[in-house]
Amino acid sequence: MGIGTGALGAGLLEREAEAAPAAANVVGPGPVPITLNINGKPVNLTVEPSVTLLDALRNHLDYTGAKKVCDRGTCGACTVILAGKSVYSCSVLAIDAQGRNIETIEGLPVNNPISNAFVNHDAQQCGYCTPGFVMATKGFLAEHPSPTMDDVKNGLGGNLCRCGTYMGVRQAVLEAAKNMKGAKNG
């Protein structure tokens, strides 16, 4: 099975852990006020330190494009872009996501080259995994603007679909890459 954004997310977490100063930053266990930069806007909320970025987005705010499926960094349905990198938002704590830009699918217009390509190639059925795929595609294309089919198969290996839409997704990612050539940020 391919490994894509999962490994990326885990890597980010490790680097964060090393960089974090220890005792001075202790917060909780009760709810604490935090500020998240979501799609370019600062948003204030109060959550327990154990709350994941995914739960903060979905339950404490109302960004529900990212889905809670495996909740353990396996399926990619919760993919968002944190400081320019795809991450599984179920595997990042909300308090750790402060100070960096968080891009969710709500930050994209309904008509955007990636979502449109997914529609064009019928790369969705129930659609529950689709927002995660779209954001993973955005993160992937930022690093691989001219992917081959093999690149796509490896790069999107961190997202799972149960309806079986991969044939469409493969084509959609290639078309999105083509349509985004020259465009800066999808």
Partner 1 sequence: MANTPDYSWPPMDARKIIGKSPKRIDGPVKAAGRARYTSDLKFKDMLYAFYLTCPYAHARVTSIDTSAAEKTNGVKAVHVIAEAGKELQWQGQEVAAVAATTEEVAHEAIRKIKVEYEVLPHFVNEADLAKAGSRGKAAGEKVTGDPEKAFHDAEAVSDGTYGIPVVTHCCLEPHGCVIQWQGDQVAAWPSTQFVTGWAGTLAPNLKVPAANIKVKMDYIGGGFGSKFSPGAWAEIGARLSQKADGKPVKIFLDRTTELLIAGNRPSAYGKIKIAGKKDGTITAWQSDTWASGGFAGGGQPPLPYVYTNIPNTRLNHTSVSVNAGPSQAWRAPNNQQASFLTCSAIEDFAAKIGMDPMVVFDKNAGYTPRAEQYRYQLQKAAELSEWSKLWKPRGSQTGAVRRGLGLAVNAWAGAGHACTARITINPDGSVLLEMGTQDLGTGTRTIMTQVAAETLGLQMGQIKLAIGDNSLPPGGSSGGSTTVGGSSSATRKAGINALAKLFEAAAPALGAQPEDLEAVDGTVRVKADPKKTMTWLSACKKIGPGGKISETGANEQRNPMGLNSGGAAGVQVADVSVDTETGMVKINRYVAVQDCGLIINPRLATSQIYGAVIMGISTALYEERIMDDATGHMMNPDMEFYKLAGIKDIGDIVVHLDIREINDKRGVIGLGEPPAIGICAAVGNAVANAIGVRVPNIPMSPMHVLNTLEGRNA
Chain residues binding partner 1 by CB under 8 A are 1-2, 48, 50-51, 55, 58-60, 62, 64-72, 74-75, 77, 104-106, 108-112, 115-116, 118-120, 122-131, 134, 152-154, 156-170
Q: List the strands of the sheet with 32-38, edge to edge.
A: 41-47, 32-38, 101-103, 79-82, 85-88
Least distance in angstroms from the C-beta of 20 to partner 1: 22
Question: Which residue bears the tokens 């940020």?
Answer: 185
Q: Compare residues 16 and 48 and give the one whose CB is closer to partner 1.
A: 48
Least distance in angstroms from the C-beta of 67 to partner 1: 7
Residues linked to residue 103 through DSSP beta bridges, in sequence order = 81
What is the 8-class DSSP label of residue 109? -
Question: Which residue bears the tokens 């084509």?
Answer: 171
Least distance in angstroms from the C-beta of 21 to partner 1: 25
Judge contact between 88 and 9, C-beta under 8 A: yes
Q: Compare residues 12 and 171 and give the one whose CB is closer to partner 1.
A: 171
